[in-house]
Structure 1
Amino acid sequence: MIVTTGLKIGEVSKQTGIAIGALRYYESLGLLQSDRGDNGYRYYSPEMVQQVQFIKKAQALGFSLEDIHEVLHVHQQGDLPCEFVQALLQEKIEQLEIQIQKMAAFKSELEQYRDRWSTTQLHPQPGDICPLIQTVSI
């Protein structure tokens, strides 16, 4: 008979504000570990609450669960993953810069349509939904 102490999944959920389903998902990805009692319940160490809070904060910074898994792996090997985190963060910044440039170009394109359409005389044809949108080339 295994005697397990620790926090049940519901207690971890209450302490962290993370849904039970999400905690199970995190565990399936290897982000969390639990022990199973004879009753089949998952029991988490108190450190897992801190780990869930870490996951939430890392996600708030834009890190994917895969990124977080890698960071936790470095930590579990006994290394401080801060340099790795800084490298990941730099990649995120570079990706954001590319997205910002793409979004600015798209915004400019939309503004051109808006300006052109503001002076367009509409001559709808039977069956047209919106003649303005129909002028857009894809």
Structure 2
Amino acid sequence: MSIGEAARASGVSEKMIRHYEAIGLLRPARQENGYRSYAAQDLAVLRFIRHARDLAFPLEDIRRLLALWRDRDRASAEVRRLALSHVAALEAKAQALQAMATSLKHLAAHCHGDDRPDCPILDELEGKHP
């Protein structure tokens, strides 16, 4: 199947399919005319990548997960370790985002939001601490 058909079947854009090929996550066959040809296994890989990206796994972790997925003699302990490491990173990011939201709420609460030019939000962004 063509790249357009693979994109529709997998839910991954043509641009991202080309990117995944360029970085070695996907290796579709090439026809004599140079066009890519996607098989059922390529679609399975694309769906795997899409689901991993939906869970915000970084590409290097996806590379490791794909290798583990392809290795039928793998130990599930490594998969679990990668998943739990990613959970910790997501939780740290969530805490950082919550701290940012709290800071912005505080700044917004101290901004008059009227016709006056003084604004603690802009002062903070400039590096002036109110």
Number of corresponding residues? 125
Identity %: 28
Following superposition, the deviation at residue 13 of structure 1 comes to 1.7
Which residue in the other structure is 2:86 paired with? 92
Following superposition, the deviation at residue 53 of structure 1 comes to 0.9
AA of the residue aligned to 2:102? S
Q: Deviation above 4 Å: which 4+ runs of structure 1?
A: none
The answer to whether the 8 A contact 1:10-1:20 is kept is: yes
Which residue in the other structure is 1:83 paired with? 77
Alpha-carbon distance between aligned partners in 1 of 2:74 and 2:118, rounded to the nearest angstrom: 60
AA of the residue aligned to 1:27? E
Alpha-carbon distance between aligned partners in 2 of 1:10 and 1:66, rounded to the nearest angstrom: 26
Q: Which has the larger radius of gyration?
A: 1
Give the alignment's Cα RMSD to 1 decimal: 2.7
1:48 aligns with 2:48: no
1:37 aligns with 2:31: yes
| Unmatched segments (≥5 aa) in structure 1 | 1-6, 125-129
Which residue in the other structure is 1:106 paired with? 100
The alignment's TM-score, normalised by the length of structure 2, stands at: 0.75
The alignment's TM-score, normalised by the length of structure 1, stands at: 0.71
Alpha-carbon distance between aligned partners in 1 of 2:16 and 2:24, rounded to the nearest angstrom: 12
AA of the residue aligned to 2:79? V
Moved more, 79-88 or 35-44: 79-88
Following superposition, the deviation at residue 135 of structure 1 comes to 4.6
AA of the residue aligned to 2:93? Q
